[in-house]
Structure 1
Amino acid sequence: MSTVTTVGALTTRPVDLDADVPVVHAWVTTDRARFWGMRHATVQDVRDDLAATLADPHRDARTGLHDGVPAFLLETYDPTHHELAQQVPVGPGDLGMHLLVGTPVVPLRGFTLAVMRTVMAHCFADPGVRRVVVEPDVRNHRIHALNEAVGFVVDREVALSDKRALISVCTRTAFESRTR
């Protein structure tokens, strides 16, 4: 998928472990990515994590490009095969999503919102997806505001194995109404 935005062209492609692991490692070990829980990860830890995602038939990982340069990581998953399913009603048509926006070389006003809109358009490009479900750390106020900006509504707070999460859902209709 490719989207031309006010900040440039945003595209996604499948993760290439050899090319992308060093870049993703540089992102996840920064303070701004602390909610990914990989601040002290090695390059091998990141490779193993991404390889496990790619090997799992219920998950996917894509590298997001800004004008051809890696700029974000998109992970999607079937929430019925996630610990989330034990606490929140999920089912057919639901898609879980994680987004990590890399450290920008040159900050661009509106960049992260443009990325989020592109990611959500990618998720809803599949006609079978009726809702996108996210479970960010409750302390990650920046992502909560970004989620709300594209149509997510808070469902509840839950305890997951690695965090207290704020479950939010976004329907196709809610997303489309926010991006007209």
Structure 2
Amino acid sequence: MKILIGRLALVSGIAVLCAVISDKALAQSANVDFTGSIPPAVTINATSTGTWNGTSGLDFSSPNLIRIPATLTLSSAAGLTFTINSITDNGTSLSGGKTYSNFDLVGAEIKDGNNLIIQAETSPSANYSIVHPLGIASPVQTGPISNKDYQVYLTVGNNVNILPTGTYNIRVKITLTPQ
């Protein structure tokens, strides 16, 4: 029994000695902090709200369709792509119990002068076959871009019915991706 206790003490002593001289006992920790700023790759210098007052700025293709212009002014050190992610109701109030969901076609397009960059559309009523789906990126627009105006057009239409009277408030969400 004495021999067993002696061996146990010897093994315990060796284990304690190993723990004391272990690499883990010598390890230390350090925090390395990183700080800095990255300037925005794309700057939206200005936007103009697309407003229609009943006559000016309106392209009447038919009584079933209106097209309203707005302007997006951008700067970018690099080229960029435009993506029309969504076209949504933003508080439209129409006559005759009609709502945004009664529109057959709501579309947007972005132009650089007369050059079409991207277009996309949705059909809130599901009565229109989508030709240009939302969420597709445009071809790369070559940079640098400096305080340049892009035209954004909103189109609202119905296949058969004349557009109802009321206040149209529609939001076009555009993503600008530096390349």
TM-score after normalising by structure 1: 0.29
Greater fraction strand:
2
Greater RCO (Cα-Cα under 8 Å, separation 6 or more): 2
For the pair shown, the structure with the greater C-alpha radius of gyration is 2
Greater fraction helix:
1
